[in-house]
Each structure stands twice: as structure tokens, then as C-alpha cells.
Amino acid sequence: MFFTLGLLGLLIYFITKTIKDLVKKSGDNFTIALQLLTILMSVTLFSRYLDHSFWDYPGLLVVPIFIVMSLVYLFKAKLRYSKLTITSITFLILSIPLFGFEFHKSPRQYIPKEWYNRFDIKGSVPINPPYDFDFKETEQLSVKAFDLEKSKHYYDAITVYRQALRIEPNNPKLLFDISGCYALINELESAISILDTAILLDNSYAPFYNNRGLLLYKLKENNKALMDYQKAIQLDSTQPNFYANIALVYYYEKDFRKASVALKRAKQLGLDLTSYKFLNSLINEN
């Protein structure tokens, strides 16, 4: 709240000052241009630090131009306007975390990660769906594709998995593995579509719903994600990661009570939250 109010105050001040300078024709063009950039940077920092995406594309232009002009102003221009000088230095410091520095509740990056890695899953739980192969050739292709996937040759792995799928088109395990590869190459919509087919073949296997829920969550379709997580828990209430996943959706839907209940259940089922600082803090806060 204080951060937002501070940015709002600076925004109003520099809008007023810039209009006044333009009307009175006072101040040099460079200073007025930097004041305009300061106004735009106020909006940029608001969107980055409070996790709004509406200003991502304008920010690609605003941030680098502001940095260059601020440095020129600070090192070469006469620092006649102390408020502009202090604001420029403050905004430069606040810009540093936009360029790849990771910390708790970090701002949206200069190039947001979801543009190139929407999946972004760390420490995932390995799953081996309980389906057998009808043919030895299919199994051999599946093993080959899995090795390619492990070595991060995802496109090649998809090609080999699809060769296996042509032999056994109704094998849910192959669909599940292909979906995972699509997620890892940032094609989440394709990954969901493949899981849709797997669920049509077998609607009783909980991890299908859990993984589809995770993909929907990554696409910010939280209501659909909740439905899938709830279905996964209904089918198998012993998996702690199902509860951890649904807790995140509850949290971002601002249902903190349900988020806390789900996390406590995940902890009871054996999920070690020590390596999940963010999740652990939810329990402590609620």
C-alpha cells in the first residue's frame, strides 16, 4: 500500500510539474523528457512490483530508455532539480531486480518468464502411469523417447512418442508422457489437449487431473484448475502434492482459509515444506 501510494504521489507530482513546465516553457527539453519517462516508469514499477501484466509491452521500451537517459542526466547534466535526481536514483535502484535477480515476491522480470517458460516447475514428483504396452516395439520406442526427454531433447522425444502412439493409439501412458514434453517446450495448450484425450480413455486416474489442473493454473484458469484438483483428490486423497497444488490456487483466489487447510493436510500426508518457503509461510500466516 505504501509503495503504491508513493508511486501515485510521484506520478501526480511529475505530471503536474511537466504540464507546468510545458505551459510556462521553462526547463530544457532533456529534463522535460526525463520527467515524462519518470511518469511512465512510475506506472512500469507499479505493474512490475504488484504483478500486473498490462504494462509488460510498453515496459520493454520505457525501462531501457529511462535507464540511459537517467544515467546521462546524473553524470553529464547539471543537477538542478533535486527531486528529479532523487527519484531517478530511486527508480534506477528499483529497476535492478527486473533483470534476473530472484528473491521472495520478486517483481515481474523485464522479460516475464511466462513469455518463454510458462510451465516453470521445479521439484516435480515423478509419475509412472500403470499401463502396460501391447507390443514390444511400443515399449522400446517409449524407452527411447524417455531417454531423449531426460537429455532435454523434447522435440525429438515427442516425435518418438508419437511413433509409439501410432502403434498403440489408445495407450494413456504415451499420451501422458507426450503431454509432459509439450509442457516443457512451453506449449501448454497442446499439453492440455493431449491430457483431455488421456482422460477420455481413462477418467479414473487421478494424476491426469492433477497435471491438467497444474497446466490450467499456469494459464491462470484457476476455476478450471480447482475443478481438476478437486477431482484428483476425490479419486486419490493420499497424495500430498495434490493438496499443495490446490492450496496455491486457493491462495491466488484469496481464499486463504482453504489454502491453509489444504497445506496442513499436505503436511500431514508427508509433504516436506522446509524446501517450500512460500508454502510454509502460508501455514504460518494462517
DSSP track, 1-12: -HHHHHHHHHHH
Q: How far apart are CA 170 and CA 56, in angstroms?
A: 42
In the listed set 218, 236, 254, which residue is the last one of a domain according to the structure?
A: 236
Residue 270 falls within a domain, yes or no?
no
Which of 83, 17, 19, 8 is CA-nearest to residue 45?
Answer: 8
Residue 78 falls within a domain, yes or no?
yes
Is residue 63 located within the same domain as residue 140?
Answer: no
Residue 241 falls within a domain, yes or no?
no
Domain that holds residue 154: 136-236
Is residue 81 located within the same domain as residue 142?
Answer: no
Q: What is the pLDDT along the chain (286 residues), one digit of tens a residue?
A: 899 999 999 999 999 999 999 998 887 888 899 999 999 999 999 999 988 889 999 999 999 999 999 999 988 766 667 889 999 999 999 999 998 765 546 788 888 777 766 677 765 667 889 999 999 999 999 999 999 999 999 999 999 999 999 999 999 999 999 999 999 999 999 999 999 999 999 999 999 999 999 999 999 899 999 999 999 999 999 999 999 999 989 988 989 889 889 988 998 998 877 656 666 666 666 5
**One-letter identity of residue 246:** I
Domain count, the chain: 2
**One-letter identity of residue 216:** L
CATH no. for residue 202?
1.25.40.10
Residue 185 falls within a domain, yes or no?
yes
Is residue 154 located within the same domain as residue 106?
Answer: no
- pLDDT given for residue 77 in this prediction: 63
- The alpha carbon of 155 is separated from its chain's Cα centroid by a whole number of angstroms, namely 23
Is residue 157 located within the same domain as residue 199?
Answer: yes
- The answer to whether residues 260 and 282 touch, using CB atoms and an 8 Å cutoff, is yes
Q: Residue 13 burial (CB < 10 Å; 0-12/13-18/19+)?
A: middle
- pLDDT given for residue 126 in this prediction: 76
Residue 176 falls within a domain, yes or no?
yes
Residue 273 falls within a domain, yes or no?
no
Is residue 39 located within the same domain as residue 141?
Answer: no
- The answer to whether residues 214 and 179 touch, using CB atoms and an 8 Å cutoff, is no
Is residue 10 located within the same domain as residue 89?
Answer: yes
